[in-house]
Structures are given as C-alpha cells and as structure tokens.
Homo-oligomer: A and B are copies of this chain.
C-alpha cells in the first residue's frame, strides 16, 4: 500500500503530506516557544527505535528537585512506511514497544499525557528548535556470507543521511550526542565532517563555531528492567572537544542516575566508541570459547554447566564466564565486533584485524549447527523428520527475534528437508523469517514430533512435563536441550519414559 505505515497491531497510518508537514512544523514551533517560556531546554531524539523511544521518555521524565522537567523532548522519526506509525502511536500516550517492563507504559503515559513534555514528530525542521540532539539512528552490520564475519561491513548510508539532516537544521551551539553504537572513529571521521560541511554551506564559521559532538553509548537490555537499563546504569562518554564533553556530562547528569552509577569520561570519542564495541566483543569471545569446551565435555561424560558453576565461584576473576547454548542472538554481540573490524580497515586504513573477536562471531553465528549435529548423532538423516522447535526469541522470556539463533537452526533443518514447526509464547509473527508460522499453542507443534528441541529456555516451558511431551507427540521423541534448561531429574524422567535426550554441553546424560 502506498504512503501507509502499518503498526504491529495492524492499524494503518497515512504518511503526512507536504501540507500536513507545514501544519506540523507550525505546531512544533508553537509548542517549543511555550516550553521555552517554562524555562525548559529543548531536546530532539533522532530515531525512535528500541533505544531512542525509551531514551526520549527518560529525558522527558528527568526533573529538578521540585519536580519540574528539565527538558521538553521532540522524538523524531522519519516518515518511512516501516516506522512512521510510531509517531501517532506515541502521541496517543502509548509506548511504541511492547515490553515485560511495567515502567515502559507508565513513563510514556506520564510524559506524554500528564507532563506533556514528550511528543513525537516526523518533521525534520524540528532540529532548528533544539538545544540538544540525541542520535539513536539504528546502525547494523551486514554479513554477506554465513560464518564469514571477516567480510562484514557497516552500511552508514542512513546514518550519514540522518546526520546530514542535523547539519542542515541545527543551531551551531546545539550539542549532538551520538548514542548509537557506531564503528570506532565515526564521530571524528563521519559525523564531524558532515556537520562541518553543512555548517559551511550555511555560512557558519566552523572555527568560531566548531560542531559540538559527544558520544555516550547505552547498555540497554530488553526485559523487565528495560527503562532502568537505560537510566540507572554506568555510562561512558566523551566529546570531540572540551565543550562537547562538558555539555554531555551536564546533560547526562540531569537525565541519568549518576549518583549510583557515576559517569566515566574518556579522552576522545574514538575511546568511548571503542569501549562499547569492545565490551560486547569480550562477551562474544567469552561465549565462543565455551562452545569448544562444551563439545569436549559432551564427549567425556561431563556436564559443562556444572563445571562452569564451579569455575564461576572464583568471584572477581572467573564469574563473567558465559555459556554456550543454541547460539548467540540479539543486536549487539552479533554485530559489534564486525563494526570494529570494519572501522579498523576502512575508517582508519589499518592493516590489522580483530581476529579473535571476528572468529568469535563466526563461532557464535554457526553455533546452531552444533545442535543439528547433536540430533544427527541419533537421527543421521533428517529428511521428513518432524521437528518441534520450542522458542524462536533470542532471549528467555522475551518476544525479541532480532538475529535469533533459532532462525539459523530452522533454516538449516529446512536444508536437510526436516519438517519443522516452531512455537513461542511471546512471538506472534517472525519478522526475520516471515514464511515460518510461529504457533503460540504447543498443541500445534508437538503432535507426531520425532524431535523436540528446547531451543530457548522460556520459563513457560518448565510446565511442560515429560509425560505431556510423550503423550502429545504420540511417540517417544528425541529431546534436545540447547540451553541447560532440563535439570537432571527431568532428564531422568525422559529417559525412564524411553526418550533419548541430548543437550549442548551435557555430556553426563548417559550416566543418569
């Protein structure tokens, strides 16, 4: 459909016309003037995605000791078919994301309906009016070949366009705070030159008015602490010059809980950009390491997860040890090492590589194939084998399918001509694998299943007893535990019922 943006609930929103844009801009100017009269600074948040929409609410929610908001927030979302719907949805007082965090609907309702200092708009010229812009444009890495992250790259086109929009409209004293996870070097080598170029076009003297650009990355986690993970957590920041750093610190100090989570200033934006992708690379490498030890454990009668718990008792030195599972999903660990490796080669033209980090991404991306290997140890030929996959989200107890390893699992099961049915209580529709229907009732996937894969450890699955599985399947399916979900007592029940059981890292099953 032309010029229509469809919300997840199916509601259609017409994209604004030029005439409507003019009306909107007049309205935005009026509101801004009113809010300035209340002594509030004006903040724009660019990009109302997973981080941006909640960050906009967190900024709007910040008040002085008397409860007066520091800021009025214009949440800005381009009028694209994919995302425009967020603007009208937010402006009715609703969050444009569903979450298990009860604070999400509360904070949106409070800021939009009660305090009235948060509003969404698709009008670019809003940036003429703001004192601060928080950039939350999404930025992804492209991995053109499966398991070859070394060929990955970062397509900065949309990001650069977004920054150019800012350069066209912002006042020279407006502070740009880049919150997006970017390849190291982006603020210095991408954002600053674009802003300078646009300033020069506008006749702004960039010696007298050097662009004010800061970087501070979020550490958001989906789930029940979604808002707190943005507001009440440690932050690292820097800026391209001293004034940018100062303005950034002042802004973050008002918006975040810096009393309990003090800020860390780094010397330049390269450093803060590097810190973000490095901390995720550390996690990615940590997980990748565990897979090879889990495979070893499987072959020598050892439960890798009990070993892991023993090792993690060394607090302070070994308690960050992660674990293998079906694989690694989500938005950060799968791409951040690629952003860094690409930046090294492309933005800085350094003849080196982040081999461990990139190798970790490859191991993690291909980790679901290990689960298929476990199945093939019992059922060598998967053609026409009926497989029930329980869980397509990338995390437990969430409906988030971004870069979910279940996608790789299902695709490779299809390649082997298995007959796959997938279930997830939290997912209505699998955006990344549209052709696969996701059932919400396990009664739709279990009947006749030869293999049942506990792909994701949703708590809801704990209520499924071995008796229920065997009864529903009408046979004794092979049970595969990808995420250390079945404890030894439950595995014993499956064994007593005559099922075979396999699990990632679970080498001890034959001894049970």
Q: Which residues of A contact B (CB under 8 A)?
A: 184-185, 219, 234, 236, 264, 266-268, 270-272, 274-275, 278-279, 281-283, 285-286, 288-289, 292-293, 295-297, 299-303, 306-307, 309-311, 313-314, 316-321, 340, 344, 348, 350, 352-357, 359-360, 363, 508, 511
Contacts and interface: CB of A to CB of B under 8 A. Distances in A.
Contact of A289 (B282, B321, B348, B352): B282
Given A271-B508, A278-B311, A283-B318, 13 more contacts: A234-B313, A264-B310, A267-B508, A268-B301, A274-B302, A278-B293, A281-B293, A285-B356, A292-B356, A296-B344, A299-B348, A299-B350, A300-B348
Contact of A296 (B268, B272, B283, B350): B350
Given A289-B281, A296-B350, A307 B219 contact: no
Nearest to A317: B320
Q: Which 7 A-B pairs have the closest CB atoms?
A: A320-B320, A271-B302, A264-B310, A236-B310, A279-B311, A275-B307, A234-B313
Nearest to A271: B302
Number of copies: 2
Contact of A293 (B272, B310, B354): B354
Contacts of A278: 293, 307, 311
A340 B236 CA distance: 38
Contacts of A270: 300-302
Nearest to A277: B293
26 contacts: A184-B296, A264-B313, A266-B306, A267-B301, A267-B302, A268-B508, A270-B301, A274-B293, A274-B296, A279-B318, A281-B293, A282-B289, A283-B318, A288-B356, A289-B356, A289-B357, A292-B355, A292-B356, A293-B357, A300-B348, A316-B319, A316-B320, A318-B320, A319-B320, A320-B320, A356-B359
From DSSP, what is the main secondary structure of chain A's interface residues? Answer: helix
A289 B281 CA distance: 9
Of the listed residues A264, A271, A319, A353, the one surrounded by the most CB atoms of chain B closer than 10 A to its CB is A271
Contacts of A318: 279, 282-283, 320
Contacts of A508: 267-268, 271
Contacts of A184: 296, 300
Of the listed residues A236, A266, A320, A355, the one surrounded by the most CB atoms of chain B closer than 10 A to its CB is A320
A266 B306 CA distance: 7
Contacts of A317: 283, 320
A511 B274 contact: no
B314 A219 contact: yes
Contact of A511 (B267, B295, B360): B267
A304 to B, nearest CB: 8
A264 B311 CA distance: 10
Given A299-B350, A300-B184, A316-B319, A311 B275 contact: yes
A314 B279 contact: yes
Contacts of A295: 352
Contacts of A234: 313-314
Nearest to A184: B300
B348 A356 contact: no
A275 B293 CA distance: 10
Nearest to A488: B267
A292 B337 CA distance: 12
A365 to B, nearest CB: 15
